Amino acid sequence: MRVLIALVCWLCAVAPSLAAPARPRPVVLERSLVVEGQVRRFTVMAPDNRSGALPVLIVYHGGGQTAERARRYTRFDEWVVAEGLVAVYPHGLNNNWNDGRQSDDLAARAASEVDDVAFTEQLIDVLVAEGLADGRHVFLTGASNGGMMAMRAACALGPKVAGIAPVVANMPVDWKCKAAAMPALLIHGTDDDFMPYAGGQVAAGKTRRDLGTVLSADETVAVFEKINGCTGVKETKTLDEIGRDKTAVVIVAYECARGALTHIEVQGGGHTWPGAKTSVLADWLLGGTTEEVNATAEIWNFFKGLPER
């Protein structure tokens, strides 16, 4: 009888695993490399059951934030195993990126002395050389300062980057995009008090510091219309189903010859990551966060839908 009971209990214990095998978990690796004499750190998340090189998504945190915070609000970690990708969260020097903006106040930052484009390029080269990254599918995203860094790196590195998705980020006036083509998904909030939708000085009225000047959202989109050979609008969709967030979303997909382009305009949206978990304090400081779309899902689905190069 004791043997029978023991056998039954053992079967009870293993039955769940037989019915539903444990899902693969992402592996977290803390890495570093030396760029121009500086030790630069980055966090890598990859499926523990991967075989071969995978698409890589580099996620730049916002200015004054951290890679860990970017992980929490973007939640790309949840897509690593499900979609078979590698998520990389680099750490900016003193929590900022050198995205090419010029001003005396920005020049005082430690980040102004480093080449974050070179950091990005070396990071990509290392992951490709190790067989972790598929060099044909390297994508960049980020919010605010991180979104401008995504634009800066992609415009400089050209063919090494397969697509970008800047969130609440406009193109700085201080440099021109040299890429011949660059698939892009751009996300803006019309009520963003930090990244001016109409262009101008960043965070004017929020700080006395000069944080540089940017193009408007429309002018930023126009930059990518030009380099991607766009000839007009292919499709427009409006989402306004959730009343409590007091926002509406207009998604515009363009007809382009050299690279896909989509613009998501969050009407009433602030300096926030659409679909992220938020709080009353965050909404008060940064403005409203829409629930009409989830930026993380929109970004990965955009990248996943790009044609093979």
**Mean pLDDT per 10-residue section of the chain, whose length is 309 residues:** 36 36 74 96 92 95 96 94 95 98 96 97 97 97 98 98 98 97 98 97 95 98 98 97 90 98 97 87 83 97 93
Report residue 260 as tokens: 């896909």
DSSP 308: P
Residue 145 is predicted with a pLDDT of 98
Question: CB-based contacts of 33: which residues, under 8 Å, 6+ apart?
Answer: 39, 40, 42, 119, 122, 123, 126
Residue 14 is predicted with a pLDDT of 33
- Give the chain's length: 309
Question: CB-based contacts of 177: which residues, under 8 Å, 6+ apart?
Answer: 151, 155, 171, 223, 224, 227
Phi then psi dihedrals of residue 271, to 5 deg: -90, 65
What is the dihedral sign for C-alpha 204, 207, 213, 217? Answer: negative
Of 126, 173, 129, 181, nearest to 157 by C-alpha is: 181
Site of tokens 């945190």 = 61
Which residues is 239 bridged to in the sheet? 249
Determine how many CB atoms are found less than 10 A away from the CB of residue 65.
Answer: 20
Residue 15 is predicted with a pLDDT of 35
Architecture in CATH of 18-304: 3-Layer(aba) Sandwich (3.40)
Of 228, 227, 200, 29, nearest to 103 by C-alpha is: 200
**Strand, coil or helix: what is 285?**
helix
The C-alpha atoms of residue 8 and residue 178 are separated, in whole angstroms, by 68
The C-alpha atoms of residue 39 and residue 294 are separated, in whole angstroms, by 34
Of 124, 127, 187, 131, nearest to 159 by C-alpha is: 124
Of 183, 304, 298, 198, nearest to 251 by C-alpha is: 298
Residue 284 is predicted with a pLDDT of 75
